[in-house]
Structure 1
């Protein structure tokens, strides 16, 4: 408790310093409930958010209370508990020559995404918290633009999932359009504990019987058109899941007028291979624990993937839709997301996402009770905004286990912003 008082004192004493500089400062007070292992807890969260130039920090100093309104001390009794109060500490943004972040991640993409695509370490947040780390470094920052690296670790306090991509622009010295900007890359990703599960105390439980999953990959990117209005490039990626299979994706992506992002890809997958091994649902432990063995059931396929997204402003409005399948009668997968900021409708803001796998006909879209739902997901967030400083939000999330049973989480949050 003395540590908490000291932290609070430092925080509030620092506010005048930030106010007198060019720092941006925000503060949110959250009140809500969460359910973990059938037990309901009340929560209080203090969420300061500071930024200065490219540097930013966000904290989630949260307290949990049981049904008798006694504070749950398990969330404050270890070094990991204190570190998990960090939502993020970042420098720069994705795409900058130097970008780094520690904390929670919603959608991590490595390269073109054949191995890691939209991975999140927040699937069961706030019950389960992981302090991830991402570092992107382009040689341009050292005036040596021939090399660059992307890297990611799922949890600095218990690192299991790690991914690294080294890329090069080997023909840059030619100063010839298209050829000079060709990129080639090498990726290595692993999960050293794929049998990890949730423990009873909102922490993670390692499994000493786990065998490491190793994936390697090569990629090529060729820009066709580069202008302020249109950026279009083609790519070819190859990956191998060691001791299983390999596959290739060839595609074209385009950015149009900084509003529309779209792409089309051809997938050539061998036996025992799947793309996007580390995806948004990888932290669903029924998925993670069985995915490597599940590969044994996959046969070679020739498939396709297409997507389109619309982005207006800085997170004011976004819409995303993706569909993928193969050229046989195999089931399809649909992915969609929508975000509407409160600046559009003033009193309401909305965020939602769905992933529906195992679609064989239109009727499957209305059937959410089959055992083909293991790789499906629904997220819905509806916020009622009262003025500029307060809001009430309903957060509903649902995943499914291997038997098709839903794992639902509902949170009601009240927020005050300053």
Structure 2
């Protein structure tokens, strides 16, 4: 028996040592290019002519992406400046500035667009974006620092606009008690403690005065949670990770008081209090030789208590924080599944899909979330890149119908020569109305421009 255990122990140790190098790098990372696309676009009922200069660079561990809009009104020739109003202004031209890779390097820092960020394993904050509107495109900060492979700190701040009060802030210290050992599986065990808080008091200026757009968050909105996870297996072909998460959404006192004060605005049979959820899942990454075929899959079982929504802080939260909080009213105890599947083929095509689906969706007052991501390198002379997200789904038949619950972007290009390309850029995003709320906004922008890769 002792001999058998010794053989098993040596086999596990050998698999960790031989394949210690991470072979799961994406072929779509660390690309350098400069693009400047000239074309026309319609925003609302106005037509603009101009370009967006979008260089993207990678220097070792450093990454830089810019988005410089130069759009002029076709009717009066005035430059469109709405994207620079409020908040951090021209700093919005920095799409991202980063150092390191999250969960791979001991130091990771990113400034700018927080699209795709998550905290820990993602039960509290996942599928997040701080850039749901051109007019209020935010510059956020994300960081993940590990000390001596034992203690770490992960943090996200949504908006470096320091006017007013604190915006969404999330922090997760974590601890790997055996991080410096060479014991397989055991050395990867990680315990995390998460906390998120938002006191956003943003107000929209209009002709009639100032209109609050964050009625419930301004007095404070918060959540906390804890998690544990470990890498169960890692070699040159497969990496398998397990995790378990608990999250509690604290009762929002401003919302609770509004329900008492204005009961006619709500379903009087619905209850509201703090809510919690529990989830456990497995994530697997599979790589065929030389990254010919690369698959990432996650399956997660979730249990929801009353007044709880998994991934509460996601892209829908930034579209309308008050509406997101009101979704918690009457949310009943239930269960669900979160699944994610992605593949990278021949380092040319990358496709990802994900679905957060409550049990018995048609009979539930909870919504599903669906997401798609497509990215290709040049196939012939064509290239495509697109993202799609939709939340609050009560009918999967509406999953791909664009409305107030959707975010979408699709870019298709055709290379004319070494330095020039033409294409169509489609955006479904949000713009702000005079009353401070958001309206869905779509833009179709055919263009021709410079595109240089190096």
2:355 corresponds to which residue?
322
Structure with bigger RCO (C-alpha 8 Å, 6+ apart): 2
Cα deviation, residue 198, structure 1: 6.1
Quickly say closer, same or farther: Cα 1:186–1:274, change in 2 above 3 A. Answer: same
1:152 corresponds to which residue?
156
- 2:350 & 2:82 partners in 1: Cα distance? 39
TM-score (norm 1): 0.79
| Cα-to-partner distance string for 1:206-247 (whole Å, 9 max, x where unaligned) | 657522210111000022212121111211100111122111
Cα deviation, residue 355, structure 1: 2.7
Q: Are 2:416 and 1:383 aligned?
A: no
Q: Are 2:236 and 1:228 aligned?
A: yes
Cα deviation, residue 69, structure 1: 0.8
Structure 1 residues 39-54: aligned runs within 5 Å: 39-54=46-61
Cα deviation, residue 390, structure 1: 1.7
Instruction: Note the aligned Cα RMSD (angstroms).
Output: 3.4
2:303 corresponds to which residue?
268
Contact 1:252 1:263 in 2 (8 A): yes
| Cα-to-partner distance string for 1:57-96 (whole Å, 9 max, x where unaligned) | 2323322322211224666788932222212221122232
2:325 corresponds to which residue?
292
1:416 corresponds to which residue?
450
Paired residues, number: 378
Quickly say closer, same or farther: Cα 1:41–1:238, change in 2 above 3 A. Answer: same
- 1:365 & 1:61 partners in 2: Cα distance? 32
Contact 2:158 2:169 in 1 (8 A): yes
TM-score (norm 2): 0.73
Q: Are 2:135 and 1:102 aligned?
A: no
Structure 1 residues 8-407: aligned runs within 5 Å: 26-36=33-43, 38-66=45-73, 67-72=75-80, 80-95=88-103, 96-125=105-134, 127-139=135-147, 144-158=148-162, 160-172=167-179, 175-193=182-200, 196=202, 209=215, 210-243=218-251, 244-257=274-287, 259-285=294-320, 288-312=321-345, 316-326=349-359, 329-330=363-364, 333=368, 335-355=370-390, 357-360=392-395, 363-364=397-398, 368=401, 375-388=405-418, 389-397=420-428, 407=440
Cα deviation, residue 275, structure 1: 0.8
Quickly say closer, same or farther: Cα 1:413–1:188, change in 2 above 3 A. Answer: farther
Quickly say closer, same or farther: Cα 1:71–1:109, change in 2 above 3 A. Answer: same
Contact 2:132 2:430 in 1 (8 A): no
SS of match in other structure, 1:83: helix
- 2:225 & 2:422 partners in 1: Cα distance? 45
2:17 corresponds to which residue?
none
Cα deviation, residue 406, structure 1: 7.4
- 1:208 & 1:247 partners in 2: Cα distance? 25
Quickly say closer, same or farther: Cα 1:247–1:365, change in 2 above 3 A. Answer: closer
- 1:337 & 1:155 partners in 2: Cα distance? 25
SS of match in other structure, 1:344: coil
Cα deviation, residue 28, structure 1: 1.8
- 2:382 & 2:179 partners in 1: Cα distance? 51
| Cα-to-partner distance string for 1:296-329 (whole Å, 9 max, x where unaligned) | 2111112222221112466742232435222574
| Cα-to-partner distance string for 1:115-139 (whole Å, 9 max, x where unaligned) | 11121122223x4321111111111
Once the two structures are overlaid, the 10-residue window that deviates more, 32-41 or 163-172, is 32-41
Contact 1:92 1:100 in 2 (8 A): yes
SS of match in other structure, 2:160: coil
Quickly say closer, same or farther: Cα 1:197–1:314, change in 2 above 3 A. Answer: farther
Contact 1:349 1:385 in 2 (8 A): no
Contact 1:37 1:200 in 2 (8 A): no
Quickly say closer, same or farther: Cα 1:200–1:262, change in 2 above 3 A. Answer: farther
